[in-house]
Structures are given as structure tokens and as C-alpha cells.
């Protein structure tokens, strides 16, 4: 799950991590008061969406008056911002962060992730901030440090100083930086983060460190123990079908093609998409209906797949393991009747009792194309989608 920048900065503030003075607004009526409360003569106004690249797309501006901030809010609230990281429809802007303007002396980069290889939380720091870190990694690998850390470890101070050195911080800044790393790590662990990125971390005109951005991803598996974070979820930032699927415990990802896919198991679901592509078709979605593939789940899955108007055919690919294929076949038939599907449905059942399952599909009197071989089933779906 992703947080908005303003939510991330609220967390930063709670953990004594330095952020600019700012206010979040949800309607134009709040803008003038917010600017006055923050004070000063210049403000940065930032649209809040779950995507990077806001600055280059007009979603962030520097304004000289509260009236300009008001104009900006009227222009963006309720509209969709398209950046290089979003799809063509863009992301809905339903809040704007107004902040005091910071004089920047230099821009740095700092992030933390759970690193799969070292199986540790790793901080990534660079003296080159404000740009794409992958480019820095490629062009200036010596300007990046990857520092593995452990919570409550006695070496954390030394490790923080290692990062500070690569960031070229002076003594005063390093004194600010060491507790900042400790606080960021505490924030990471206590809130079950999977990613934390500050790009840029800046040194301001007073020589102090300040976090100008905050990108935070939370481990979805840990939301059960993070009620406060759970409340920060903004469903307007997710694809509506994906959000509905998630509410029904189904994994669904919307894609550009026209062959709907319903598969049990994430790996097989990807494998099915690849097989469709291999035979010249285009999958409309990824959907893992789960290990059990009951009638109830299959019905929900059909409903979600069919909400996509591009879908011309649905390929159901179930490897019946513990659940027998004859039961799955009955579930699929009931679901098709329940949802009243008008487009062709190709069903491939494999595994436990597959032949009996195929026979039940054949005798069902509804239009199901039952094909036991996955390659043939995929070819047939591609043909029907044309």
C-alpha cells in the first residue's frame, strides 16, 4: 500500500524527522487560510497523487501569493494528473500540500528498502539527489552507498556516518543525520514499511537537513497490525476493479488486452498471460482466483473481469489440486449462469478429476468451450478474441 507525500511527512514529523512547515487542503476554501497560517511570501503547492514525476507534469508549482495557490487548487482539485509513471488516464487529485518555500543549497538522495539479497533493511544514499536514482547508479556508481542496517544494533552510528560521508555532509549536518537515520529506521520497523524514499533530501540556506519529499510503501501483509496506516488508504488512487478485487481477496491487475483470464495461483496466472501472448493474443488482466476456486469466488472473479468492456473472451485455467475439478466445473457453470455471461468462455481444467470436470462442462447446456490442453485452450481464446 502506498501513502501520499503529506501522510508520509506526518509520519516523519511524529518521528522528529525534519520536514517543511505545511498544510494539506482538500478544497479551495481552505487555501488562503493555509497560506497565511504557514506564513512567508512564497509557497510550494504540490498535488497529492500516488505517482512520481509530478513536477514535470505541472503538478507542483512555486507561487508568490495565496491567490496563485488558490488558482492552482481550482485548476487541479478533482482533476486527474498524468505523469510518466501513471497510465493515460492519470491519477485523481483530491488534495494539495501547501508548504513554505525552502532555499536549497544542495540536493541529496536517501532511501531504505528491504533488500532481498542481503535479507536486511538497506539504506541507499547519494550525493546526487533530485534526479532518478537508477541513472545515478548507472552513471556514477561511486556516488552511491548501500548500507545494510539492523534495528537496535550498536553499529548503527558508525553505519550512519558511512552514509553521511558519501553524502558529503559536514560535522554539523552529520550530527543531525545520525539521529535522523535512527528515527527513520524506527519509523520503518514500527510501521512495517517496505520502502521509504526521500528524493530530494536537501541542505537549506541555513545549512540544515530537510526532507522535501516523502515516498512510503507499506507491506500489505502487515496491515492487520497497522490500524492507523490502514486508515490512510486512499482508494481513489487505485484502479476501481483492482480495489474491488482486493476487497474480495482476489489478486487482480488490469492490462490492455481483450482476453480475460481467471486462473488459480499467481505463478500460473502469469504463465497463462504469457501463453496467450505467445500465441499472438493479448491478456486483459491478471487474476488469481486463489487455491480454492469456489463458486462464490469464481462468480466474483467473472463479475470483475466482465466490468472491463474490452474483454471479448474469458479463458479459465484451473489446475485442480486438492479441490477436485468436477466441483470446480460445477462452480464455473453456476457462476456463468449467475452472471449471465454473453461472451464465449474457454475452460481448461487440469489435475484431480479433470476428465469428469470436462464431461460436466460438456453436458451443461451452456456455451462453454472445454479444452483440456492449455496450448489449445490459449490458441482458441486468441482466435475468438479476433
Is residue 347 a contact partner of residue 369, using CB atoms and an 8 Å limit?
yes
The count of other CB atoms within 10 Å of the CB of residue 327 is 19
Beta bridge partners of 125: 110, 145
The catalytic position among 197, 242, 252, 350 is 197
189 binds another protein, rule: CB under 8 A: yes
Report DSSP letters for 315-357, one per residue: EEEEEESSS-HHHHHHHHHHHHHHHT--S-EEEEEEETTHHHH
197 has catalytic annotation: yes
219 binds another protein, rule: CB under 8 A: yes
272 binds another protein, rule: CB under 8 A: yes
Q: Which is nearer to another protein, 94 or 264 (CB)?
A: 264
Q: How far is CA 148 from the centre of its chain?
A: 24
365 binds another protein, rule: CB under 8 A: no
The catalytic position among 109, 182, 242, 252 is 109
Count of residues that interact with another protein, criterion CB under 8 A = 51
- Note if the bond before 235 is cis, omega within 30 degrees: no
Q: Which is nearer to another protein, 114 or 156 (CB)?
A: 114
253 binds another protein, rule: CB under 8 A: yes
Among 90, 130, 321, 344, binds another protein (CB under 8 A): 321
Residues 101-140 that bind another protein (CB under 8 A): 114, 116-117, 119-121, 133-134
Cα(378)–Cα(341) distance, integer angstroms:
19
194 binds another protein, rule: CB under 8 A: yes
190 has catalytic annotation: no
Is residue 294 a contact partner of residue 331, using CB atoms and an 8 Å limit?
yes
What lies within 8 Å, CB to CB, of 69 at 6+ separation is 31, 32, 34, 35, 43, 45, 63, 98
CB of 24 to another protein, least distance (A): 25
Beta bridge partners of 193: 218
Stretch in the footprint of another protein (CB under 8 A) among 7-15, 65-73, 158-166, 257-265: 257-265
Is residue 316 a contact partner of residue 302, using CB atoms and an 8 Å limit?
no
Among 156, 255, 356, 369, binds another protein (CB under 8 A): 255
Residues annotated as catalytic are: 109, 197
The footprint of another protein (CB under 8 A) covers 85, 114, 116-117, 119-121, 133-134, 189, 192, 194, 219-222, 224-225, 251, 253, 255, 263-278, 283, 286, 288, 291, 319-322, 350-352, 373-375
Amino acid at each position: 500500500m502506498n501513502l501520499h507525500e503529506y501522510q508520509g511527512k506526518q509520519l516523519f514529523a511524529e518521528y522528529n524527522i525534519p520536514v517543511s512547515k505545511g498544510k494539506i487542503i482538500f478544497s479551495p476554501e481552505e487555501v488562503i487560510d493555509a497560506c497565511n497560517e504557514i506564513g512567508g511570501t512564497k509557497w510550494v503547492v504540490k498535488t497529492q497523487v500516488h505517482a512520481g514525476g509530478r513536477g514535470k507534469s505541472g503538478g507542483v508549482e512555486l507561487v508568490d501569493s495565496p491567490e496563485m495557490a488558490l488558482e492552482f487548487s481550482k485548476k487541479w482539485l478533482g482533476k486527474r494528473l498524468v505523469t510518466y509513471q501513471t497510465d493515460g488516464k492519470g491519477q485523481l487529485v483530491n488534495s494539495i500540500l501547501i508548504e513554505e518555500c525552502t532555499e536549497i543549497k544542495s540536493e541529496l538522495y536517501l532511501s531504505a528498502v528491504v533488500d532481498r539479497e542481503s535479507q536486511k533493511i538497506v539504506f541507499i544514499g547519494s550525493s546526487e539527489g533530485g534526479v532518478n536514482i537508477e541513472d545515478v547508479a548507472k552513471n556514477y556508481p561511486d556516488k552511491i552507498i548501500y548500507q545494510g542496517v539492523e534495528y537496535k544494533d550498536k553499529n548503527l552510528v558508525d553505519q550512519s556516518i558511512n552514509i553521511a560521508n558519501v553524502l558529503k555532509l559536514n560535522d554539523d549536518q552529520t550530527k543531525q543525520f545520525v539521529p535522523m537515520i535512527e528515527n527513520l529506521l524506527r519509523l520503518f520497523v514500527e510501521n512495517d514499511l517496505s520502502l521509504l524514499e526521500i528524493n530530494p533530501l536537501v541542505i537549506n540556506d541555513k545549512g540544515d537537513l530537510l526532507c522535501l519529499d516523502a515516498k512510503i510503501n507499506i507491506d500489505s501483509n502487515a496491515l492487520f497490525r497497522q490500524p492507523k496506516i490502514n486508515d490512510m488508504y486512499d482508494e481513489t488512487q487505485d484502479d476501481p476493479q483492482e480495489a474491488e478485487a482486493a476487497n474480495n481477496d482476489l489478486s487482480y491487475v488490469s492490462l490492455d488486452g481483450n482476453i480475460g483470464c481467471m486462473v488459480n495461483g499467481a505463478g500460473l496466472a502469469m504463465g497463462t498471460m504469457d501463453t496467450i501472448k505467445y500465441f499472438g493474443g493479448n491478456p486483459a488482466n491478471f487474476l488469481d482466483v486463489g487455491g480454492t476456486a469456489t463458486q462464490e469466488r469464481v462468480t466474483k472473479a467473472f463479475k470483475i473481469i466482465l466490468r472491463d468492456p474490452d474483454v471479448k473472451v474469458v479463458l479459465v485455467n484451473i489446475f485442480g489440486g486438492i479441490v477436485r475439478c468436477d466441483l470446480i466445473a460445477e462452480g464455473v457453470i453456476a457462476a456463468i449462469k449467475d452472471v449471465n455471461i454473453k461472451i464465449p468462455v474457454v475452460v481448461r481444467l487440469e489435475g484431480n478429476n479433470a476428465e469428469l470436470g470436462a464431461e460436466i462442462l460438456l453436458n451443461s447446456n451452456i456455451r462453454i468451450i472445454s479444452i483440456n490442453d492449455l496450448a489449445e485452450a490459449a490458441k482458441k481464446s486468441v482466435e475468438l478474441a479476433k
